[in-house]
Structure 1
């Protein structure tokens, strides 16, 4: 009877061109090209059911993550911020690909029980997220150009035309986002969110896309994924400053903040906003708290497949 091969722990440092790999069953470091052929060949060389950890690095980790998950291995995407502080905490001075691969392996070995396995999202999630970010970049560019050119004599008409062209592209991107959500059956959830006072179409579509990123156990988990949960740092009688973790998509947080700015002017939410301010919160803090409230309501609507009942005011 053949002896069953035990699974191993693997730490991978990811870059655009290559993957540097550390394993717990050998002191040797392996380097392979970051392409489909090399990844598939390497995955066949490790025992089934192995646990593979890597740092989320833009888009460069996605190929390995998806292929490893398809091959039946457990995947763990590590937070770059936490990993950096872990490096400082254990006194590692070197910052090289080789050192990082070993650092990731060490983190996986010691923190495995606290880590949550990664589950790949639907391809539509990445498509919509990418479109949202490109639209945000266009908005920033349009505003910057408008401010830069408005005082130049003789360019007013040209600047207006440029602004209109960029705005047209923004609209086309928004239409493509909607088409993608309709295609995968997520647009109904966007419509649920769109019914909330202050929440516009883009914000609702981004909320629906994020909701379908994975299974969230509660609204707290959803808020944490958005990076809108609060980091608390208290010690003894010292009460530290509360800050948002800001771990999620910055564009969705911006959209939710804008939604809160619109919502505070409505009869439905003006009373709650005023209550936050009367409790001692600064206007920005009150808006963030209101944005978090809107996100929780959106989550509840999508989670329960419910229809929003408009508020009549406080």
Structure 2
């Protein structure tokens, strides 16, 4: 058997089944693949996969398991394989899509997708996945539930307004709408209390959440949503990746004489963008740093909303920075930073003047 340099298992995940492809990188830098029939996406399928891996994988060679994040359907197999000691990587769908587009592959099937993921693991150096804490997963679930109820409440408010404005009013229908609104408000309040209790019970999580809440304009609910959706920024390694994850990355289309509009991609987590909309409007009024930033951008933009979106992006990056550095917000940070750079320049100018004289 030819020497193998690397091994990678690609798993294409769907709700009911897992498509598998095991790839090997040989000493001649050639790729070889073997496949296995699809297994069910449950415990029995996981055990079947485990038996196949023990027979097929060389324990003396680096081995990586690659899968794409697919809502909640990948979580079971990812946690199972990680608990068995395997190196697991859960890729963001955008990165997988860009890699797939670089291949000369026009067809798309589950088997081809699993081979593509295996090939990705053989060719690239990928950051490993680690299960997030139970508190962060619960916080994400609560923030998603709250977001859904807020949308339902808005819908019910609009319906009640339509009934009130109609010529033929139905008192019974109005009563039912009011009861639904009362129930929605009670459930939203209950969820917010659960989020508060969840964070307060974890001292480390509460300590780091306080860093984000120290930003003028950021409430506990906004901070909890961002932390929950990013799972404590666990898989984020830099601000560029964070902006792309939230859909704040900039897209510019130009070709020849054609000049397209510059806009954000919105190909990211919409829950984060929704959570930062109202805080950004508050920040441009009460946050000294972001207020100055907004006033500088606004005259140069055709629509004020464009400058407001730029504030949201900057606000998200600020939250990430405070979380990672474990720092409280300092309104005079930019001023101190500017003075720090100006001091050496002034000293150099003084030395040059003395030398010339």
- What's the TM-score bracket when you normalise by the shorter of the two chains? 0.7 to 0.9
Given that residues 261 and 287 in structure 1 are in contact (C-alpha distance below 8 angstroms), is that contact kept between their aligned partners in structure 2?
A: yes
- 2:283 pairs with 1:263: yes
**Aligned pairs, number:** 307
Q: Secondary structure at 1:76's aligned position in 2?
A: strand
Larger mean CA deviation between 17-26 and 38-47 belongs to 38-47
The residue aligned with 1:127 is 138
Shift in CA distance, 215/23, structure 1 to aligned 2, threshold 3 Å: closer
- 2:189 pairs with 1:171: yes
274, 282, 289: which one aligns with 1:254? 274
Correspondence 1:280-299 to 2 at 5 A: 280=301, 282-299=303-320
35, 38, 62: which one aligns with 2:42? 35
Q: Deviations over 1:219-255 (max 9, x none)?
A: 4444344332324555678665433344543112111
Q: Secondary structure at 1:290's aligned position in 2?
A: helix
Post-superposition offset of 1:166: 0.2
The residue aligned with 2:340 is none
Given that residues 46 and 80 in structure 2 are in contact (C-alpha distance below 8 angstroms), is that contact kept between their aligned partners in structure 1?
A: yes
Post-superposition offset of 1:71: 2.8
Larger mean CA deviation between 180-189 and 77-86 belongs to 77-86
Q: Secondary structure at 1:265's aligned position in 2?
A: helix
Post-superposition offset of 1:106: 3.3
The residue aligned with 2:324 is 303
Given that residues 139 and 170 in structure 1 are in contact (C-alpha distance below 8 angstroms), is that contact kept between their aligned partners in structure 2?
A: yes
The residue aligned with 2:341 is none
The residue aligned with 1:158 is 176
272, 286, 305: which one aligns with 2:293? 272
Correspondence 1:1-314 to 2 at 5 A: 8-24=7-23, 26-46=33-53, 47=57, 48=59, 49-84=62-97, 86-87=99-100, 90-110=103-123, 112-113=124-125, 115-152=126-163, 153=169, 154=171, 155-184=173-202, 185-209=204-228, 210=230, 212-214=232-234, 216-233=236-253, 240-266=260-286, 268=288, 269-280=290-301, 282-309=303-330
Shift in CA distance, 31/148, structure 1 to aligned 2, threshold 3 Å: same
Shift in CA distance, 221/15, structure 1 to aligned 2, threshold 3 Å: closer
TM-score, normalized by length of structure 2? 0.75
Larger mean CA deviation between 28-37 and 11-20 belongs to 28-37
Shift in CA distance, 89/207, structure 1 to aligned 2, threshold 3 Å: closer
Shift in CA distance, 201/100, structure 1 to aligned 2, threshold 3 Å: same
Given that residues 211 and 299 in structure 1 are in contact (C-alpha distance below 8 angstroms), is that contact kept between their aligned partners in structure 2?
A: no
Structure 2: gaps spanning 5 or more residues? 25-32, 164-168, 336-357
Q: Distance in 1 between matches of 2:207 and 2:36?
A: 48
Larger Cα Rg: Structure 1 or Structure 2? 2
TM-score, normalized by length of structure 1? 0.84
Given that residues 23 and 115 in structure 2 are in contact (C-alpha distance below 8 angstroms), is that contact kept between their aligned partners in structure 1?
A: no
Shift in CA distance, 303/42, structure 1 to aligned 2, threshold 3 Å: same
Q: Distance in 1 between matches of 2:97 and 2:238?
A: 28
Q: Distance in 1 between matches of 2:231 and 2:65?
A: 25
Given that residues 40 and 67 in structure 1 are in contact (C-alpha distance below 8 angstroms), is that contact kept between their aligned partners in structure 2?
A: no
Q: Distance in 1 between matches of 2:127 and 2:255?
A: 28
Q: Distance in 2 between matches of 1:296 and 1:82?
A: 20
Q: Distance in 2 between matches of 1:287 and 1:296?
A: 14
Shift in CA distance, 245/76, structure 1 to aligned 2, threshold 3 Å: farther
Post-superposition offset of 1:217: 4.1
Structure 1: gaps spanning 5 or more residues? none
